[in-house]
Structure 1
Amino acid sequence: MSNHQEAVAKHRDTEALLAVLDTADRMPSAARLRERSYTLLSLTPGSTVVDVGCGAGRAVAELAERGVHAVGVDPDPWMLAAARERWPAAEFREAGAEDLPFADGSVRGYRADKVFHVLREPQRAVAEARRVLCPGGRIVLTGQDWDAIMIDSDDAALTRTIVHARADLLGAPRAGRAYRNLLLDGGFDEVTVEVHTTVFTDPAMLPLLTRLTEPACAGGAIDRDRADAWLAEQRRRADADRLLIALPFFVAAASAWAVSAKSSPPGGRRDFADTT
């Protein structure tokens, strides 16, 4: 495949992913989940907040509307191009979660939505978040548990095979359920965890199911005929208003308190200074 063909294929894949993400993001439940993440950040006007894995930049624009200096970070130049086109007034930088372009203690808020499941070593991203956050800064992690996607189907065994085959191709498909321990191990305090289950019944979510079956076929977990039959059933359900997909989203939040020079024991006094 030539460089031009690769670029065209990448553009099409990005557009397809954006279509799925846009459909999901426009749902009221998704808007409520984003709003919850902003609340947990305890936003301070004028402070710097980084949205890691920002994708097309919707959260960056919404955070900026709340009076903070929001910066979107993403390793995918194609996603960043879409973000800059959609939100020309916003700030975006190309970088991965494990190597952020910020000085130590220079940001007050860190948000990562649907990011940690693609990382091979999510603990490295947590350490990097701890590095860039100032004392008293807040971190919020949001993401689905890919092993726990629920899809109503006549063939429960095949559905489990498809879901698990897709999950097994990810770096950390169960990162959501591990958020609390990741944050505790990373030196964060005041860790809280919530679970919000989003239910999809809109036929517009059918492309998500197609994206689930493709890796299962490519990896040999199922053949193309079984995948097509399963997708046909889901389309029939959608036509009859019987489609149901349920995704559990974990939302974890914590604070980056600075331990005093006297080395307070766990649970002891912690000093904090806002450096943003």
Structure 2
Amino acid sequence: MTRETEQTRRLTDGLIARLDEADRLPGAEELRALSYDLLGAGPGTSVVDVGCGAGRAVAELVGREVNAVGVDPDEQMIAVARGRWPEADFRRAGAYELPLPDASMNGYRADKVFHELAVPERALAEARRVLTPGGRITLVGQDWDTLVIDSADPALTRALVHARADLTVGPRAARRYRNLLLDARFRDVTVAVHTGVFTGSAMLPLVTGLAEAACTTGVVTREQADRWIADQRARAEADRFFLAVPMFVAAATAPR
């Protein structure tokens, strides 16, 4: 195994661990269930889960007697999904080129995916291609500029949040869901916001990661990052930690 391959494997392992943690957060299961309901995912329907990761949503859809297909561009991710859920259908593919026939799926789901896409319009064109006329689409994700964190230094906190957002391909994709869907000629577009509020130490690594990322990119100094991290750790220890993460949920209908 080359050094580059080993590094890629470690990065994917880390991503899988973070996705597993996210799946266990309060409200995560209910949000996934809402996305299935918005698709009308029931027995005998077909749904493609784009950017399926380790496959939990696909397995839950299969449990609803849905003909579910999970796609992800990461080979290691697909291997993990197949190992965890051998009864499910997982395929290696990206959002721009789905391995599915035209008009073959009743539903299209993408959870925490569109902020990673440089050209979301292309992904939505592909969604329209694979959806049946009148099929349903659901997009779920956070806007990376709208993390709400209580701190002793609000100005520094804003700088950290924006710095982390700037490391993302499409940090504000979620606030664009409605217009993206309308531009792609989807109908009956709805958008709702479900905000997760976290006051325990479980989310401390996420907020300290903001400071580390900002320090690495030179947005803040090491001293500023350390001071901010120390404040957040003290808050967590004193039961004064506060983080709110708005999750945007968009749904629409493919044109007939």
TM-score range, shorter chain: over 0.9
Contact 1:203/1:238 (<8 A) preserved: yes
- Post-superposition offset of 1:85: 2.1
Secondary structure of 2:87's match? coil
Identity of aligned residues (%): 62
Q: Distance in 2 between matches of 1:171 and 1:217?
A: 19
Question: Which AA in structure 2 matches 1:41?
Answer: L
Cα distance 1:91–1:224, how it changes in 2: closer, same or farther (>3 A)?
farther
Measured against aligned partners, the alpha-carbon deviations of 1:210-257 in whole angstroms (never above 9, x if no partner) come to 432333223221123322222222111111122111111110001113
Measured against aligned partners, the alpha-carbon deviations of 1:65-109 in whole angstroms (never above 9, x if no partner) come to 001111111111222222222212211111111111111111111
Contact 1:137/1:256 (<8 A) preserved: yes
Measured against aligned partners, the alpha-carbon deviations of 1:14-60 in whole angstroms (never above 9, x if no partner) come to 23333332222112311111111011001242222111111111101
Q: Distance in 2 between matches of 1:209 and 1:78?
A: 27
- Post-superposition offset of 1:160: 0.7
Contact 1:20/1:207 (<8 A) preserved: no
Partner of 1:28: 26
Partner of 1:54: 52
The list of structure 1 runs, each at least 4 consecutive aligned residues, that deviate by more than 4 angstroms after superposition, is none
- Post-superposition offset of 1:164: 0.4
Contact 2:42/2:64 (<8 A) preserved: no
Partner of 2:125: 127
Q: Distance in 2 between matches of 1:80 and 1:228?
A: 37
Measured against aligned partners, the alpha-carbon deviations of 1:97-142 in whole angstroms (never above 9, x if no partner) come to 1111111111111000000011111111111101110111100000
Question: Which AA in structure 2 matches 1:17?
Answer: L
Question: Which AA in structure 1 matches 2:86?
Answer: P
Q: How does 1:1-276 map to 2 (within 5 A)?
A: 4-258=2-256
Cα distance 1:211–1:95, how it changes in 2: closer, same or farther (>3 A)?
farther
- Post-superposition offset of 1:4: 2.7
Q: Distance in 2 between matches of 1:22 and 1:223?
A: 32
Cα distance 1:149–1:227, how it changes in 2: closer, same or farther (>3 A)?
same
Secondary structure of 1:28's match? coil
Contact 1:166/1:215 (<8 A) preserved: yes
Cα distance 1:110–1:236, how it changes in 2: closer, same or farther (>3 A)?
same
Secondary structure of 2:224's match? helix
Q: Distance in 2 between matches of 1:58 and 1:97?
A: 18
Instruction: State TM-score, norm by structure 1.
Output: 0.88
Q: Distance in 2 between matches of 1:212 and 1:13?
A: 17
Q: How many residues align?
A: 256
Contact 1:55/1:79 (<8 A) preserved: yes
Unaligned runs of 5+ in 2: none
Q: Distance in 1 between matches of 2:69 and 2:209?
A: 29
Unaligned runs of 5+ in 1: 259-276
Contact 2:69/2:91 (<8 A) preserved: yes
Task: Quote the RMSD (CA, aligned, Å).
Answer: 1.5
Q: Distance in 2 between matches of 1:197 and 1:102?
A: 34
Instruction: State TM-score, norm by structure 2.
Output: 0.95
Max Rg structure: 1
